[in-house]
Chains A and B, each alone.
Chain A
Amino acid sequence: MKSVSADRLVKIYRKGQVKALDNLSLDVEEGTVLSVLGPNGAGKTTVVRILATLLKPDSGLATVCGIDVIKNPEKVRELIGLSGQYAAVDETLTGWDNLVMFGRLYHLGKQASIKRAEDLLERFSLTDSARRPIKTYSGGMRRRLDLAASLIVQPKVLFLDEPTTGLDPRGRQEMWGVIEELVKGGVTLLLTTQYLEEADQLADEIAVIDHGRVIARGTSDALKKQVGGERLEVTVEAKNIASTIEIVSRVSGNKAALDETLRHISAAVSNGSQSLMEVLRNLDSAGIHPLDIGLKRPSLDDVFMSLTGHAAEEVKSE
């Protein structure tokens, strides 16, 4: 069953006539994680805002757990949790204050709100800082508290809009840990990110979007295959470049590419490790000692590059 479905969404921002969404369609199977991957301005936040009932599309349909987000936003709000790009909590209040307040707004009752707040603080390792104002928190702690606020009532579907943007590597690792725990708990998750490794790490499926359209969709592995299989890469000293190109081209059966500044020779190969050994043997008998040699699977950066013909560049307005 599809927990989230967006069908041909169009959204044009009046100011500047920016087409934020251009017939965008996507869906998330129940209990799975879909990562919406794209550069700034690709339309990620706009999709999330529409699905979370904050924004109305100009046309198209969207449902969460089968409920129309445009016709029945109140019902949808009872089923979702949203954690945005910025930590949307009251910074002057303490972590405890915030969670209790949100609990009460979900009509949990006073005691239940306090209980829930304390459970969540514990679960996200924030108990020690519970009584401090949020503005004294680190970036990672804020995000965790924000995430906790979206979990007050166990949501059926969770939307995380760039949950780790702006975090340092440690904060990001911690956030990933927390998200992975949630996913194990069975929540359906739609996560947007501009970090390719984040999508790779967390998602079952990835939808690559650019200029308001889904340009590719599939598992991380499938996307990588779409770009081409493995590549063999060799780095050699300058005097050996010509003969190495000859060897790599012959073994792989493909034309080897050369990066002159890095003295880096590469070619697509069909049966990776066998080709690797073959190239090594040939280099050895030619008396060439490679500085570096290996097989490389394409990164999601490569995926983006080959899908759009441009790097994951930023578009001005979002």
Chain B
Amino acid sequence: MKNAIFDSLIITKRQILQLARVPEVLIFSIIQPVMFVLLFRFVFGGSIASDQPGGYVQLLMPGIFVQTTAFTLAATASGLAEDMKKGLIDRFRSLPISRSALVVGRTLGDSLLNVLVLAVMGLAGYLVGWRPTSGILKISLGFLLLLLFSYALSWTGIFVGLSARDARVVQNVSFIITFPLTFLSNAFAPTTGMPRPLQYIAEWNPVSSMVAACRSLFGLENRFGATANSFPSQHPLAMSLIYMVLIMVIFVPLSVRKYKNSSN
């Protein structure tokens, strides 16, 4: 067990080293979310009516935070697919190390990158008017929740990365999962404007629960269009945690099994 943790951390360290050796990767994984912040803030910000004190940006930032952490799925999936293509997975599997180290290490590494990304995004948000009002403790809890969410989704990414037989497919599959997931939600616009069936999907979408939970942790009352009496909109924090546990319970064993059998 001790070795398993140590091995995983070595793999995590490898990813940090990769970022140090190719800083472009880091720079672009930061530029992209910052670009989203600016685009949504200034392109849609003016035309999406909200009676939110402090303006649309207060509602927007939690949405973009969640979207960015959801994209961890794609990062994990394509990173792993790349390792498979290059034969690196075979090398790791032929070493006398814990079999889960490679996947555990990667999920940790990809989530760790989000610490930096979220910090820079928060700063960018602040510069364009985002002002969380709930105090340092709750704000920190909000970011912690985001990191946990990215960790859970990273395991989904492991499964996607191991399932696709071609690295190019992985990118497409990841986007097909993450785009509807993040846009069919309350992240950017009120769900009340959607057709009725989509509203239900949006309400029960884990992303909506996450966004609502973050909004509340950052000090907003208005949950932006969630139907007031549905269970997820009443208990966004509890629902977010339930979803994460659910994702992990399903995808950790699936991914680990898939990894162990990945060449049979």
A45, B189: Cα distance in complex, Å:
54
Cβ–Cβ contact A55 & B264, under 8 A:
yes
Identify the closest chain B residue to A102 (Cβ). Answer: B95
Cβ–Cβ contact B22 & A105, under 8 A:
no
Cβ–Cβ contact A77 & B94, under 8 A:
yes
Cβ–Cβ contact B91 & A84, under 8 A:
yes
- The stretch among B13-21, B61-69, B136-144, B250-258 that forms the contact with chain A is B13-21
- The stretch among B82-90, B209-217, B233-241 that forms the contact with chain A is B82-90
* Chain A residues touching B, majority SS: loop
A67 close to chain B: CB less than 8 A: no
User: Which B residues are in CB contact (< 8 Å) with A220?
Assistant: none
Chain B 99-112, CB-CB to A under 8 Å as 1, else 0, gives 00100000000000
Cβ–Cβ contact A82 & B14, under 8 A:
no
B169 close to chain A: CB less than 8 A: no
Which chain A residues (50-91) contact chain B, with CB distance < 8 Å?
52-56, 74, 77-78, 80, 82, 84-91
B263 close to chain A: CB less than 8 A: yes
Cβ–Cβ contact A77 & B95, under 8 A:
yes
Contact of A97 among B6, B7, B17, B88 (CB under 8 A): B17
Cβ–Cβ contact A92 & B21, under 8 A:
yes
Cβ–Cβ contact B86 & A86, under 8 A:
yes
Given contacts A92-B18, A105-B10, A107-B3, contact A53 B264 (CB under 8 A): no
A82, B264: Cα distance in complex, Å:
18
User: Which B residues are in CB contact (< 8 Å) with A93?
Assistant: 14, 17-18, 21
User: Which A residues are in CB contact (< 8 Å) with B86?
Assistant: 86, 88, 91
A149 close to chain B: CB less than 8 A: yes
Chain A 232-250, CB-CB to B under 8 Å as 1, else 0, gives 0000000000000000000
Chain A 119-153, CB-CB to B under 8 Å as 1, else 0, gives 00000000000000100000000000000010000
Cβ–Cβ contact B95 & A105, under 8 A:
yes
Contact of A88 among B3, B7, B90 (CB under 8 A): B90
Cβ–Cβ contact A94 & B21, under 8 A:
yes
A217 close to chain B: CB less than 8 A: no
Contact of A54 among B6, B22, B94 (CB under 8 A): B94
Residue in B21, B87, B94 whose Cβ sees the most chain A Cβ within 10 Å: B94
A19 close to chain B: CB less than 8 A: no
Size of chain A's interface in residues, with CB distance under 8 A? 31
Identify the closest chain B residue to A153 (Cβ). Answer: B96
Least CB distance, A50 to chain B, in whole angstroms: 10
Cβ–Cβ contact B94 & A80, under 8 A:
yes
Identify the closest chain A residue to B9 (Cβ). Answer: A104
User: Which B residues are in CB contact (< 8 Å) with A84?
Assistant: 87, 90-91
B93 close to chain A: CB less than 8 A: yes
Cβ–Cβ contact B90 & A54, under 8 A:
yes
A101 close to chain B: CB less than 8 A: yes
Cβ–Cβ contact B21 & A53, under 8 A:
no
Cβ–Cβ contact B14 & A101, under 8 A:
yes
A94, B10: Cα distance in complex, Å:
16
Least CB distance, B15 to chain A, in whole angstroms: 10
B249 close to chain A: CB less than 8 A: no
B97 close to chain A: CB less than 8 A: yes
A56, B93: Cα distance in complex, Å:
13
Least CB distance, B165 to chain A, in whole angstroms: 10
Least CB distance, B78 to chain A, in whole angstroms: 14
8 interchain pairs (CB within 8 A)?
A86-B87, A89-B88, A93-B14, A94-B21, A97-B17, A105-B7, A105-B101, A149-B91
Residues of A within 8 A of B (CB): 49, 52-56, 74, 77-78, 80, 82, 84-94, 97, 101-102, 104-107, 133, 149
Residues of B within 8 A of A (CB): 3, 6-7, 10, 13-14, 17-18, 21-22, 86-88, 90-97, 101, 263-264
Besides the known contacts A49-B90, A55-B263, A97-B14, 5 further A-B residue pairs in the complex with CB atoms under 8 A apart: A84-B87, A89-B91, A90-B14, A93-B17, A105-B95
